[in-house]
Structure 1
């Protein structure tokens, strides 16, 4: 009897506390998207993951996450249909043959669907790329989508080209690639992965008006409030391939960002950024605003937060290349999980050349 009384008392105390399981609310549908290029031992280290490491990633996913086909994840988010809280989608950029020879057998073994963004002009042409026959044999496990005709720097203008001429040219390139995908594969998702992850406001707007969903290379999870003309993906190769750091990203939550300032992504050499801010959706009470932190060029910056506006001070002069500001905040109810948002900036040389 004494043990029963003690057990009841313990249960009453337990129920009176804001226990983790009781405090948790269902997350809105969202997905983390991983981005790979090469799966090989003899390709550029910055964009490669070895087959052994790739298998390690897939093994971890099989034990801790649910891999969801990208088209199913996007449809669920757009239509507010439920997704597993640990949903992951797998993508590759460029149609390298080593995706077929090294990655595809591992993905088949685990039963993981995936998406490859390809350049139709390179298929059947470049020696390290797949053929159309190989592309077709990877279906139905693999979906294929647009990475432009020829992997051009989309923001780079030709000499004496004005903004309208530039935008018409790059949109024609994208539309031509989409038509070739339709002719070869019999379907068109109207998805575009930006080569080098580069985009600007004008291109985002044009793609949205043409009915495209676009994917960048800045990090973060995807939810309904995300920009569907520049969806984030986590690079998972090169220096980002370490599973100990990657698994934190795999479990990240989409930060409810309404806007950021400065708002554009393309910069000119010599432009100076002295502050950066995010406007957050105040209806989210799970994001711990008191522990927000931003990371820029290896430095951790603690922001000022007031009235759902997060602001950091910095002194950065833009030089040719790509930089990102990553901001995170822990979840109050999901131990070890972080809200994550990244903003990318792209700067050409003085001559307007964007670096590889």
Structure 2
């Protein structure tokens, strides 16, 4: 799971930004180790049908829609003929639908179309990037349907895949994503995606600016994941308790109203 690929990211995106040179080195490692990148839709379809996959499949995904995915990541992917999936927050992209929420320089729709034309799968990532499990049913439906509607209108085909903003979901959110017409969705989890997770809770591994090439190799080989992300998981568990308390409080307020 990547976000921004940039030489000079701003403070808001720096931690989850990867330098272009580092990204190129990581793609070269995947090539040298015999991995074959596939799109999210292809992976899920193969798992559903029992169809074949390459011997060492890997997903390369980008969240949000930062301009560096076109400027820096696309040439590195093209050099190896690699597939990838870009999950866009439609209200963050530059152009007619821009709500002004983007954290750094975002893609415009011409660039998204170029990425799609180069073989990048374009998936949904909501419209304005909220924590979907914290919003009302009406707001959740809007975020999903508006995102799907805009991608369909701009690209001429409906998106098949979705990724949860911040990685957060719930049973309600997953059911809504399915009802909105997305066939599969990805979380974070910092673990390898496995069929038993189900098509709406597939896990991914975070790549950061601090991820060196040796650590990257361990991550893609599935080694030392628990140790690498122990702090993340501890923080996630603590924040999950806070978020559940907020949900209970909101439900209590709505029931009184």
- TM-score for both structures, normalised by structure 1: 0.59
Tell me the equivalent position of 1:80.
Answer: 50
Give the distance between the partners of 2:190 and 2:232, measured in 1 at CA. 17
Give the distance between the partners of 2:60 and 2:120, measured in 1 at CA. 10
Q: Are 1:198 and 2:168 counterparts?
A: yes
Instruction: Sort the Cα spacing of 1:63 and 1:297 in 2 relative to 1 into closer, same or farther, 3 A.
Output: closer
3-state SS of 1:155 partner: helix
Tell me the equivalent position of 2:61.
Answer: 91
More helix by share: 2
User: CA shift at 1:298, angstroms?
Assistant: 4.4
Tell me the equivalent position of 2:148.
Answer: 178
Tell me the equivalent position of 2:84.
Answer: 114
- TM-score for both structures, normalised by structure 2: 0.80
Return 5+ residue gaps in structure 1 as ranges: 1-34, 158-165, 254-292, 301-315, 325-343
3-state SS of 1:208 partner: helix
Tell me the equivalent position of 2:122.
Answer: 144
Tell me the equivalent position of 1:348.
Answer: 243
More strand by share: 1
CA contact (8 A) 1:322 1:347 kept: no
3-state SS of 2:129 partner: coil
Give the distance between the partners of 1:195 and 1:299, measured in 2 at CA. 16
Which structure ranks higher in relative contact order (CA pairs < 8 Å, sequence separation ≥ 6)? 2
Which structure: larger Rg? 1
Deviations 1:246-279 (A, max 9, x none): 22221239xxxxxxxxxxxxxxxxxxxxxxxxxx
Return 5+ residue gaps in structure 2 as ranges: 250-257
User: CA shift at 1:227, angstroms?
Assistant: 2.2
Give the distance between the partners of 2:64 and 2:126, measured in 1 at CA. 10
Deviations 1:82-126 (A, max 9, x none): 222311121100111111111111111111121111111222235
Instruction: Sort the Cα spacing of 1:143 and 1:298 in 2 relative to 1 into closer, same or farther, 3 A.
Output: closer
Deviations 1:54-104 (A, max 9, x none): 011000011111222332222111111122231112110011111111111
Give the distance between the partners of 1:231 and 1:107, measured in 2 at CA. 23
Give the distance between the partners of 2:92 and 2:175, measured in 1 at CA. 27
Deviations 1:138-182 (A, max 9, x none): 22321211010111121224xxxxxxxx12321222111101111
CA contact (8 A) 1:198 1:346 kept: no
Give the distance between the partners of 2:222 and 2:232, measured in 1 at CA. 20
